[in-house]
Amino acid sequence: MGILLDGKSLAQQERQRVMEKIKSCKTQPKLAVILVGTDPASHTYVHLKQLACQEVGIGFELFAYPTFVSEQELMDRIQRLNARPDITGILVQLPLPGQNPNPLITAIDPKKDVDGFHPENLERLRQGKPTLAPAVALGILKLIEATHLDLPKKHAVIIGSHLFGEPLAHLLSTYGIESFVISASDSDLSQKTITADILISAVGHPGLITKEMVKAGAVVIDVGTTKVEQKIVGDVMPDVLEVAGWMTPVPGGVGPMTVALLLINVLAAYQQQKISE
Phi–psi pair at 271, nearest 5 degrees = -65, -40
Each residue's pLDDT, cut to its tens digit, for the chain (277 residues) gives 899 999 999 999 999 999 999 999 999 999 999 999 998 888 989 999 999 999 999 999 999 999 999 999 999 999 999 999 999 999 999 989 999 999 999 999 999 999 999 999 999 999 989 999 999 999 999 999 999 999 999 999 999 998 899 999 999 999 999 999 999 999 999 999 999 999 999 999 999 999 999 999 999 999 998 888 888 899 999 999 999 999 999 999 999 999 999 999 999 999 999 887 7
CATH number of 135-255: 3.40.50.720
Predicted local distance difference test score (pLDDT) of residue 258: 96
Contact 182, 202 (CB under 8 A): no
Alpha-carbon dihedral sign for residues 262, 131, 100, 186: negative
Count the helix, strand and coil residues of the chain and give each as a percent rounded to the nearest 5: 45, 20, 40
Q: Give the pLDDT score at 104.
A: 98
Sign of CA dihedral 232, 237, 240, 245: negative
> Does 27-110 match 135-255 in CATH topology?
yes
Query: Strands 155-159 and 198-201: what pairing?
Result: parallel
H helical segments located in 26-174: 40-56, 71-83, 101-107, 119-126, 135-145, 162-173
Give binding residues for NADP(+) as ranges: 225
Answer whether the bond into residue 251 is a cis peptide, omega within 30°: yes
Specify the pLDDT at position 163. Answer: 84
Contact between 102 and 75 (Cβ < 8 Å): no
Closest-CA residue to 249 (of 261, 230, 236): 236
CB 140 within 8 A of CB 221: yes
Per-domain residue ranges of the chain: 27-110, 135-255
Contact 11, 260 (CB under 8 A): yes
What distance in Å separates the CA atoms of residue 149 and residue 276, rounded to the nearest whole number?
Answer: 38
Q: What is the pLDDT of residue 142?
A: 97
pTM: 0.94
> Which residue is catalytic, options 109, 115, 197, 235?
115
258: number of Cβ within 10 Å? 24
- One of 93, 142, 197, 222 is an active-site residue; which one? 93
Q: What angle is formed at CA 164 by the lines to CA 16 and CA 256, rounded to 5 degrees?
A: 25
Q: What pLDDT score was predicted for residue 276?
A: 78
Known binding residues: 225
* CATH of range 27-110; options 3.40.50.10860, 3.30.450.40, 3.40.50.300, 3.40.1280.10: 3.40.50.10860
Peptide bond preceding 95: is omega within 30 degrees of 0, i.e. cis?
yes
Q: Beta-carbon neighbour count of residue 48 at 10 Å?
A: 15
Give the active site residue among 30, 49, 112, 154.
49
- Give residue 194's identity as a one-letter amino acid code: I
- Is position 16 annotated as part of the catalytic site? no
Looking at this protein, which amino acid is placed at residue 199?
A: L
Size (the chain), residues: 277
- pLDDT, residue 75, reads 98
Please confirm, yes or no, whether 23 is among the known catalytic residues: no
Residue 49 is among the residues annotated as catalytic for this protein? yes
